A and B are shown apart, each in its own frame.
Chain A
């Protein structure tokens, strides 16, 4: 969905480097999520934010941090990237409690 934009789309980085993945949305949604997708493991929730001042850890938050700079922007940082953080990362948004989530196109991150 073009209303949820992730940058970059692909990134190769070295072990130990700090990297930031960005997500912006024009849907006016209050809720934003970061997931990572690994083969056979589905989508696992890293962090989620119900509004600008409400940020929560998901099931696999270790090694990651987030920033909700505005309602429309939610960034994911890897403070010191490691190879097992190589994955496909998705940002998603939703509105309130009774809507589905809308996904960005994904960021393929490779840590070498």
Chain B
């Protein structure tokens, strides 16, 4: 079964600082990878996704993530955070093939707090 580890549980940054959130997954096969964001009091929204091709994926709001297969990682980055990026961020993984591994498995989340 697949699993996801997010090592940073709570990150506090000043506005304009650079962001990198770690995500490592455990699964032996081909994977689809996702980053979701949850703003306070809201539901989860997709930031970006990786299915295949270029391992550097660009998403909405200036976020990007890099898939490094050898490290089983999919870290999220943003060069300059804004106060409005304050939210909880979740990494998720699934298999692209049929079967129970194609269910979506989430990490425990990283709470990002951006200060003015």
Question: What separation, in Å, do the CA atoms of A75 and B49 have in the docked complex?
Answer: 28
Q: For residues 83 through 107 of chain B, which have their beta carbon under 8 Å from a beta carbon of chain A?
A: 90, 92, 94-98, 100, 102-107
**Hey, what's the 0/1 contact readout for B26-69 against A, CB within 8 Å counting as 1?**
00000010101000001111100101000000000000000000
Inter-chain contacts of B107 with A (CB < 8 A): 42
Inside 8 A of B36's CB, which chain A residues have their CB? 103
Chain B residues with Cβ under 8 A from A56's Cβ?
Answer: 100, 103
Please report the total number of B residues contacting A with Cβ < 8 Å: 28
Identify which of A92, A100, A104 contacts B49 (C-beta below 8 A). Answer: A100
- Whether A1 pairs with B96 at a CB distance below 8 angstroms is no
Q: Does B9 contact A (CB under 8 A)?
A: yes
**Interface size in chain A (residues, C-beta < 8 A):** 25
Of the candidate stretches A13-21, A33-41, A79-87, the one touching chain B is A33-41
Cβ of B108: which chain A residues have Cβ within 8 Å of it?
Answer: 40-42
Query: How far, in angstroms, from A83 to B14 measured CA to CA in the complex?
Result: 38
Query: What per-residue 1/0 map shows which CB atoms of A80-101 lie under 8 Å from chain B?
Result: 0000000000101010011011
Interface of A is mostly: strand
A33: min CB distance to chain B, Å: 7
List B residues at the A interface (Cβ < 8 Å). 6, 9, 32, 34, 36, 42-46, 49, 51, 90, 92, 94-98, 100, 102-109
Q: Given A43-B106, A104-B43, output 8 extra A-B contacts at Cβ < 8 Å.
A: A35-B106, A42-B107, A42-B109, A97-B98, A97-B102, A98-B51, A102-B46, A103-B36
27 A-B pairs (CB sep. < 8 Å)? A35-B106, A40-B108, A40-B109, A42-B106, A42-B108, A42-B109, A43-B90, A43-B106, A43-B109, A44-B106, A45-B104, A45-B105, A50-B102, A56-B100, A92-B44, A92-B104, A94-B104, A97-B94, A97-B95, A97-B98, A98-B96, A101-B34, A101-B104, A102-B46, A103-B44, A105-B42, A106-B43
